[in-house]
């Protein structure tokens, strides 16, 4: 149903989404598109044809009214190097995606043309672009009735730490005294968290950051219920530089709508398990584990004696549909799945993660701490066994384990080049699922999840902030 806040007297506004073509980023803007259409505002989703195709697959089950309001623009990318994901234990950064990201900069011309067309038809064109797609949307600056909002796909906590690193020491001290931040900045902020990117990838990202400065505002897929303090700090830091609005609109997809006829086969098994008895294990879409690490994980899950549901897939290639679905699906030792079948199941295709996390039998999540996974787990009140792999994940793991205290660490970032043994894995799983400490984490996670779900219900803080954002862009 259309949100009543968008009234007829408002100027005619259109939103143009410019996502980064990678699962963890694109999916978020797809959900944000859905959210914005509920206010009656049309959304144009501008992306590569291949990745839009991937996005459309995720729309199955969405209501038809939403679908008619999202207009997909499928632009062709020039050919780019489709290397396979590499497996690297100490630095599993998805380096293979760089050629795709570079190719995406060619979207600038078609996106500019689209903006120009829409600028002639609507009173205002509102562009929402991924933080590392800044180059593509530069021509917004040429249009009198267009404005751009930068979408930050990671946590406010990690973004704040990134910003904090760039601040001169003397100002840091001043800031800490003024804003009493000494107790909320972790002692070890993992300054090397992003170091495992290649020079080229780092350069690509930095070049995009240099092109920001649209000044309209920042959008976050987070909630003030989870990271209000860090959002506030970001607002304070930015306000000393420029007038920029910050909107925390997330979580974009915390409510699960299960369609009975399309239920995934794993739910039959989950339905038979006791409440909170299953740990869900998945490492997102960008990481391939090495064979020996997969073996240790398999043994560890078995040794833990706990129930589990494990998504065992390699990283997404940089072009999922170029030559068929080429995600690797590693094999396990013969007989393993049969041996554990009463206690665990292994999935090799795309799993309905949010729905799995929402299932009452799921009481824990072993995760790489990609921001989507963190948000989904928090929204569903599920505590996390944090096994960060790259980029923002090590810092998200600190947020989960030290700040929110709703999880424990499987693998410390400082020991990232070491293989994690089966006994370490078994111990963490047992601790999360069956210890007093794990129980306390579960209680905190459940309470936080409840708060987050309340925040998106009518009148909740997130819901009001969404209304504010819509009111602002339709001002
Ligand atoms: O079988 C699967 C696997 C994944 N997912 C979904 O895919 C998304 C995965 O996102 P995320 O947990 O953030 O992991 P990545 O795919 O690794 O995300 C990349 O993008 C994120 C947002 O920028 C960053 O936080 C991560 O570090 C980066 O690796 C989530 O919504 C999952 O629910 C499924 O639904 N089924």
What rounded mean pLDDT belongs to the chain? 89
Does pLDDT of 333 surpass 80? Answer: yes
Is residue 126 helix, strand or coil? Answer: strand
C-alpha to C-alpha distances, 195 to 8, 62, 161, 200, 466, nearest whole angstrom? 50, 39, 15, 12, 35
Question: In the prediction, which pLDDT does 52 show?
Answer: 87
Q: Confidence band (pLDDT; 50, 70, 90) for 326?
A: low
Contacts of residue 472, Cβ cutoff 8 Å, sequence gap at least 6: 217, 245, 247
Question: Residue 367 CA: which ligand 1 atom is closest?
Answer: 12
Q: Is residue 2 part of a domain?
A: no
Q: Confidence band (pLDDT; 50, 70, 90) for 256?
A: low
Mean pLDDT of 323-338: 80
Residue 322 and residue 219 share a domain = no
Pocket perturbation via mutation, ligand 1, pick of 162, 253, 359, 372 by most ligand atoms within 8 A of CB: 372
Query: Which residue, by CA, sits nearest to atom 21 of ligand 1?
Result: 24
How many CB atoms within 10 Å of residue 16?
24
Pocket perturbation via mutation, ligand 1, pick of 311, 347, 373 by most ligand atoms within 8 A of CB: 373
**CA 285 / ligand 1 centre spacing (Å):** 5
Does pLDDT of 200 surpass 50? Answer: yes
Sign of the Cα pseudo-torsion (78, 80, 84, 85, in order): negative
**Rounded CA separation 413/389 (Å):** 8
Residue 154 and residue 238 share a domain = yes
Question: Residue 390 CA: which ligand 1 atom is closest?
Answer: 27
Question: In the prediction, which pLDDT does 414 show?
Answer: 85
The more confident residue out of 222 and 330 is 222
**Rounded CA separation 109/263 (Å):** 42
Q: Copy the structure tokens of residue 230.
A: 């860090």
CATH number of domain containing 135: 3.40.50.2000
b/e per residue 404-443 (b: at least 16 CB within 10 A): bebbbbbbebeebeeebebeebbbbbbbbbeeeebeebbe
Mean pLDDT of 201-211: 90
Is residue 242 helix, strand or coil? Answer: coil
Query: Which residue, by CA, sits nearest to atom 36 of ligand 1?
Result: 351
Question: Residue 155 CA: which ligand 1 atom is closest?
Answer: 25
Q: What is the pLDDT of residues 55-80, one digit of tens each?
A: 887 787 788 888 889 999 999 999 88
Residue 468 and residue 414 share a domain = no
**Are the C-beta atoms of 386 and 282 separated by less than 8 Å?**
no
Does pLDDT of 325 surpass 80? Answer: no
Choose the catalytic residue: 25, 44, 96, 368.
Answer: 25
Does pLDDT of 312 surpass 60? Answer: yes
The more confident residue out of 185 and 402 is 402
Residue 462 and residue 347 share a domain = no
Does pLDDT of 87 surpass 90? Answer: no
Pocket perturbation via mutation, ligand 1, pick of 370, 384, 390 by most ligand atoms within 8 A of CB: 370
Question: In the prediction, which pLDDT does 239 show?
Answer: 73
Q: Name the least confident of 79-88, 137-146, 282-291, 292-301.
A: 79-88
Q: Is residue 1 part of a domain?
A: no
Q: What is the pLDDT of residues 394-422, one digit of tens each?
A: 999 999 999 999 999 998 888 888 999 99
* 25 a catalytic residue: yes
**CA 309 / ligand 1 centre spacing (Å):** 17
Q: What is the pLDDT of residues 220-253, one digit of tens each?
A: 999 999 999 999 999 988 776 666 899 999 998 7
Q: Is residue 208 part of a domain?
A: yes
Q: What is the pLDDT of residues 370-398, one digit of tens each?
A: 999 999 999 999 999 999 999 999 999 99
Does pLDDT of 1 surpass 60? Answer: no
Residue 246 and residue 346 share a domain = no
**Rounded CA separation 168/239 (Å):** 17
Q: Which CB contacts under 8 angstroms, 24+ apart, belong to 121-124?
A: 121/12, 121/14, 122/11, 122/12, 122/13, 122/14, 123/11, 123/12, 123/13, 124/11, 124/12, 124/13, 124/14, 124/473, 124/474
Does pLDDT of 4 surpass 60? Answer: no
Residue 467 and residue 416 share a domain = no
Choose the catalytic residue: 44, 129, 130, 276.
Answer: 130
Question: Residue 286 CA: which ligand 1 atom is closest?
Answer: 17
* Dihedral Cα 61, 64, 69, 72, nearest 10 deg: 50
Query: Which residue, by CA, sits nearest to atom 31 of ligand 1?
Result: 372
**CA 24 / ligand 1 centre spacing (Å):** 4
**CA 32 / ligand 1 centre spacing (Å):** 16
Q: Is residue 374 part of a domain?
A: yes
Mean pLDDT of 110-118: 98
Residue 339 and residue 194 share a domain = no
Q: Is residue 75 part of a domain?
A: yes
**Are the C-beta atoms of 385 and 279 separated by less than 8 Å?**
yes
Query: Which residue, by CA, sits nearest to atom 19 of ligand 1?
Result: 24
Query: Which residue, by CA, sits nearest to atom 34 of ligand 1?
Result: 353
Ligand 1: which residues within 6 Å by Cβ? 23-25, 27, 153-154, 282, 284-286, 311, 350-351, 353-354, 370-373, 376, 391-393
Is residue 401 helix, strand or coil? Answer: helix
Question: In the prediction, which pLDDT does 7 show?
Answer: 47
Question: In the prediction, which pLDDT does 459 show?
Answer: 96
Does pLDDT of 2 surpass 60? Answer: no
Residue 430 and residue 286 share a domain = yes
Mean pLDDT of 443-458: 96
The more confident residue out of 52 and 178 is 52
Question: Residue 27 CA: which ligand 1 atom is closest?
Answer: 31
Percent of the chain residues past pLDDT 90, beyond the cut: 64
Residue 214 and residue 293 share a domain = no
Closest CA to 96 of 191, 21, 208: 21
Domain region containing 387: 266-452
**CA 145 / ligand 1 centre spacing (Å):** 34
**CA 284 / ligand 1 centre spacing (Å):** 4
Mean pLDDT of 143-155: 96
Residue 101 and residue 236 share a domain = yes
Q: What is the pLDDT of residues 16-60, one digit of tens each?
A: 999 998 888 999 999 999 999 999 999 999 999 888 887 887 787
Residue 389 and residue 316 share a domain = yes
Q: Is residue 299 part of a domain?
A: yes
Number of structural domains (the chain) is: 2
Question: In the prediction, which pLDDT does 121 show?
Answer: 96
Q: Is residue 37 part of a domain?
A: yes
Q: Is residue 382 part of a domain?
A: yes
DSSP code of residue 413: G
Contacts of residue 154, Cβ cutoff 8 Å, sequence gap at least 6: 371, 391, 392, 396
Pocket perturbation via mutation, ligand 1, pick of 19, 23, 254, 289 by most ligand atoms within 8 A of CB: 23
Closest CA to 346 of 281, 426, 432: 281
Most confident of 90-104, 111-125, 154-168, 402-416: 111-125
Query: Which residue, by CA, sits nearest to atom 18 of ligand 1?
Result: 24
**CA 203 / ligand 1 centre spacing (Å):** 23
Question: In the prediction, which pLDDT does 95 show?
Answer: 86
Residue 466 and residue 448 share a domain = no
**CA 19 / ligand 1 centre spacing (Å):** 14
Does pLDDT of 184 surpass 90? Answer: no
């Amino acid at each position: 149903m259309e949100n009543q806040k968008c009234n007829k007297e408002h100027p005619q506004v259109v939103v143009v989404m410019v996502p980064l073509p990678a699962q963890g980023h694109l999916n978020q803007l797809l959900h944000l598109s859905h959210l914005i259409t509920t206010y009656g505002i049309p959304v144009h989703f501008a992306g590569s044809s291949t990745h839009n195709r991937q996005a459309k697959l995720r729309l199955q089950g969405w209501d038809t009214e939403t679908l008619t309001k999202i207009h997909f623009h499928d632009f062709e990318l020039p050919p780019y190097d489709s290397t396979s994901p590499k497996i690297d234990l100490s630095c599993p950064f998805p380096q293979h995606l760089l050629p795709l990201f570079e190719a995406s900069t060619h979207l600038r011309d078609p996106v500019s043309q689209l903006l120009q067309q829409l600028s002639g038809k609507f009173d205002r064109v509102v562009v929402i672009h991924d933080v590392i797609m800044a180059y593509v949307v530069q021509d917004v600056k040429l249009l009198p009735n267009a404005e751009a909002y930068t979408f930050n796909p990671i946590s406010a906590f990690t973004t704040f730490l990134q910003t904090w690193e760039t601040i001169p020491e003397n100002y840091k001290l001043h800031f800490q005294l003024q804003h009493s931040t000494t107790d909320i900045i972790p002692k070890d902020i993992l300054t090397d968290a992003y170091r495992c990117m290649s020079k080229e990838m780092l350069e690509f990202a930095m070049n995009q950051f240099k092109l920001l400065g649209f000044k309209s505002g920042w959008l976050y897929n987070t909630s003030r219920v989870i990271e209000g303090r860090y959002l506030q700090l970001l607002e304070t830091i930015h306000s000393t530089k420029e007038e920029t609005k910050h909107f925390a609109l997330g979580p974009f997809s915390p409510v699960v709508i299960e369609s009975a006829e399309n239920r995934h086969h794993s739910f039959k098994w989950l339905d038979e398990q006791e409440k909170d008895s299953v740990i869900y294990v998945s490492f997102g879409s960008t990481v391939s584990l090495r064979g020996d690490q997969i073996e240790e994980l398999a043994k560890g899950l078995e040794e833990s004696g706990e129930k589990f549901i494990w998504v065992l897939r390699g990283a997404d290639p940089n072009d999922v549909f170029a030559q068929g679905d080429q995600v690797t699906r590693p094999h396990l030792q013969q007989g393993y799945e049969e041996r554990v079948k009463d206690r665990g199941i292994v999935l090799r295709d795309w799993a309905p993660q949010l729905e799995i996390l929402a299932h009452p039998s799921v009481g824990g999540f072993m995760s790489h701490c990609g921001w989507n996974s963190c948000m989904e787990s928090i929204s569903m009140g599920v505590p996390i066994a944090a096994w960060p792999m790259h980029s923002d994940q090590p810092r998200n793991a600190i947020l989960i384990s030290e700040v929110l205290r709703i999880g424990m660490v499987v693998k410390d970032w400082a020991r990232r080049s070491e293989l994690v043994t089966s006994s370490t894995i078994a111990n963490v799983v047992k601790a999360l699922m069956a210890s007093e400490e794990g129980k306390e984490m579960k209680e905190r996670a459940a309470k936080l999840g409840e708060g987050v779900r309340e925040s998106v219900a009518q009148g909740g803080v997130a819901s009001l902030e969404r209304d504010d954002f819509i009111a602002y862009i339709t001002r």
